[in-house]
A and B are shown apart, each in its own frame.
Chain A
């Protein structure tokens, strides 16, 4: 096997995107994604069974397309990597079974990979940290290049992952072997809260872009919505942290929005949809960025990578940029198609594992819908 510039094929199926990506070492060759998002629109959220059915039908066509785009033959691949968790159990199952069959049929080693850590893996692709869009008001993202010019992750790196499926702040001590979860949502993911609130406001699915757009015309200070888990009993102090110092909760916020809308209706007044959208977005973004920056400061994190689909949100990018800059933290935002779920990130992390000499997972593992970040990849 080529261990210095391994050709790795990555497969992602943890939510509603069927992704196949191919990298050679740290060079991205293709990032092919088939999404079932359109099929979920009328339900106002991702329906796991619909996503799973779509993965089954999309997998071989997406694989065929990826191989053609990259000009690669399956027999030339050095290793295969697949998301084994966390994610939707039935959706993960499709990608894992298909990946195992590929490994079996080709005789290639298979790596079972943590989806959250894979989001960070895109930061290692050539030209990604500086190639990403710069957040408004943020410090310029720096080139994280090692002595030989090959991309490497900065020391003291954090990752803020915000999507429809997850909301986490991670500390990456070693991307192949030592990742720590500093905080996460204890109920809804931030993107899920956007979808639910968009439905309350009658804005359609997906909620993120709809609310982001409307919020620009509203007054974020018109209404004050709660910031979950921000009371002293949850926060504690740096010396004596409370039980949820870096954790988030968005279910109370969603309830507060619903109650607010009902109160306007009960009074027979017109619901100020734009103001509510702006105030809701401000509450989400405020609590995400303040807690993330606090976690970074208290853990000596100097660089933060933003990942997940909500990285597309203009206000999140803006406020994260501002708060990171004033805390002296560099913010890295990869291009959006590498922030949302994709196979390239799985391939990128797989290549790092191969280059680090870490052994493959074999074909006997089970997908794990709640795989912890402490497991970067599964041992054989």
Chain B
């Protein structure tokens, strides 16, 4: 099974993963910055396909990170994934973006049995979720995702760029203090979930926050 995975919940990334390839990875790319999704994503996917010699019709499914993440960036990946799935007529699945970091943590040697994944939600807040880990299993989502102040999170080892940003109040793992959700891990997670017969999400974005719009109150009268 060949999957095109896309995530723009923090950086922009995409990957081709297959259960036939070593560790699942066929090809992948990720940007460093979190603000250029609209420019780099489509060219990045185009390069990915051509370097792997893969055509759209060869892909079995598309997986997209549905956040949480800053809204405009998050939408660029979902808009891209939906349009690609429409043209190629392929199934489209969603995965919670923090799962990508959780899988990366699970594959590291010093993973804790219970931990947090934390990313930057801007406005002095973080997106986070709590996972548990049993031997030889995929990380299991226990709670979340939520958006909160870092100081209000459970007292557990914390992984991801949001933990690094608030290492003064979180038990941030230094090895993961810059880690962002990456489509490569998201794709591997999707392969493993689908292989075990599990359902994935649809592509509805997890905004977690309402739009900032305020319903205007009645105008104050002069008297």
Give chain B's interface secondary structure class. Answer: helix
CB atoms of B71 and A52 under 8 A apart: yes
B36 to chain A, nearest CB (A): 8
Convert B192-214 into 0s and 1s, putting 1 for each residue whose CB lies closer than 8 angstroms to a CB of A.
00000000000001010001111
The reply to whether the CB of A70 lies closer than 8 angstroms to some CB of chain B is no
The reply to whether the CB of A68 lies closer than 8 angstroms to some CB of chain B is no
The reply to whether the CB of B221 lies closer than 8 angstroms to some CB of chain A is yes
- A261–B215 Cα distance when bound, in Å, is 22
The reply to whether the CB of B75 lies closer than 8 angstroms to some CB of chain A is yes
Convert A263-297 into 0s and 1s, putting 1 for each residue whose CB lies closer than 8 angstroms to a CB of B.
10110100000000000000000000000000000
CB atoms of A97 and B80 under 8 A apart: yes
Tell me the A99-129 residues at the B interface (CB within 8 Å). 99-106
The reply to whether the CB of A90 lies closer than 8 angstroms to some CB of chain B is yes
Kindly identify which residue among A105, A363, A367 contacts B87, using a CB–CB cutoff of 8 Å.
A105
CB atoms of A56 and B215 under 8 A apart: no
- Knowing A74-B87, A104-B84, A366-B39, the reply to whether A97 touches B79 (Cβ < 8 A) is yes
The reply to whether the CB of B56 lies closer than 8 angstroms to some CB of chain A is yes
- Knowing A56-B205, A364-B43, the reply to whether A98 touches B213 (Cβ < 8 A) is no
Closest to A46 in B: B213
- A280–B215 Cα distance when bound, in Å, is 25
B126 to chain A, nearest CB (A): 20
Chain B interface residue count, Cβ-Cβ cutoff 8 angstroms: 38
- Knowing A47-B211, A103-B42, the reply to whether A93 touches B86 (Cβ < 8 A) is no
Pick from A58-66, A132-140, A231-239 the stretch touching chain B.
Answer: A58-66
The reply to whether the CB of A305 lies closer than 8 angstroms to some CB of chain B is no
CB atoms of A363 and B211 under 8 A apart: no
- A317–B219 Cα distance when bound, in Å, is 31
Convert B59-97 into 0s and 1s, putting 1 for each residue whose CB lies closer than 8 angstroms to a CB of A.
000000000000110011111111110111000000000
Kindly identify which residue among B77, B83, B212 contacts A105, using a CB–CB cutoff of 8 Å.
B83
- Knowing A101-B42, A265-B222, A265-B223, the reply to whether A59 touches B79 (Cβ < 8 A) is yes
- A97–B75 Cα distance when bound, in Å, is 9
Closest to B216 in A: A44
Give chain A's interface secondary structure class. Answer: helix
Residues of A near B84 (CB, < 8 A) are 101, 104-105
Chain A interface residue count, Cβ-Cβ cutoff 8 angstroms: 43
The reply to whether the CB of A89 lies closer than 8 angstroms to some CB of chain B is yes
Most chain A beta-carbon contacts within 10 A, residue among B46, B56, B214, B222: B222
CB atoms of A42 and B43 under 8 A apart: no
Residues of B near A99 (CB, < 8 A) are 83
CB atoms of A266 and B222 under 8 A apart: yes
The reply to whether the CB of A53 lies closer than 8 angstroms to some CB of chain B is yes
Tell me the A126-163 residues at the B interface (CB within 8 Å). none
- Knowing A47-B213, A104-B84, the reply to whether A364 touches B76 (Cβ < 8 A) is no
Most chain A beta-carbon contacts within 10 A, residue among B40, B45, B87: B87
CB atoms of B38 and A367 under 8 A apart: yes
- A102–B84 Cα distance when bound, in Å, is 6
The reply to whether the CB of A50 lies closer than 8 angstroms to some CB of chain B is yes
CB atoms of A363 and B46 under 8 A apart: yes
A319 to chain B, nearest CB (A): 29
CB atoms of A42 and B215 under 8 A apart: yes
A100 to chain B, nearest CB (A): 4
CB atoms of A105 and B76 under 8 A apart: no
- A163–B219 Cα distance when bound, in Å, is 25
Closest to B90 in A: A105
Residues of B near A266 (CB, < 8 A) are 222-223
Residues of A near B77 (CB, < 8 A) are 97
CB atoms of A49 and B87 under 8 A apart: no
CB atoms of A64 and B86 under 8 A apart: yes
The reply to whether the CB of B116 lies closer than 8 angstroms to some CB of chain A is no
CB atoms of A93 and B75 under 8 A apart: yes
The reply to whether the CB of B16 lies closer than 8 angstroms to some CB of chain A is no
- A42–B212 Cα distance when bound, in Å, is 14
Residues of B near A56 (CB, < 8 A) are 75, 78-79, 82, 205
CB atoms of B46 and A104 under 8 A apart: yes
The reply to whether the CB of B41 lies closer than 8 angstroms to some CB of chain A is yes
CB atoms of A52 and B39 under 8 A apart: no
The reply to whether the CB of A302 lies closer than 8 angstroms to some CB of chain B is no
Tell me the A361-380 residues at the B interface (CB within 8 Å). 363-367
Convert A254-265 into 0s and 1s, putting 1 for each residue whose CB lies closer than 8 angstroms to a CB of B.
000000011101
Q: Name 4 extra pairs, CB < 8 A, besides A43-B214, A97-B76.
A: A100-B80, A105-B84, A202-B219, A265-B221
* A-B contact list, 21 entries, CB within 8 Å: A43-B216, A52-B71, A59-B82, A93-B38, A94-B76, A97-B37, A97-B38, A97-B42, A97-B80, A97-B83, A98-B82, A98-B83, A100-B41, A101-B81, A104-B46, A104-B84, A105-B87, A105-B88, A199-B219, A363-B42, A364-B43
| Interface, chain A (partner B; CB < 8 A) | 42-44, 47, 49-50, 52-53, 56, 59-60, 63-64, 74, 89-90, 93-94, 96-106, 199-200, 202, 261-263, 265-266, 268, 363-367
Q: Considering the complex of A and B, which 9 residue pairs feature the smallest CB-CB distances, nearest first?
A: A101-B83, A49-B211, A105-B87, A100-B42, A262-B222, A47-B213, A265-B222, A97-B79, A363-B42
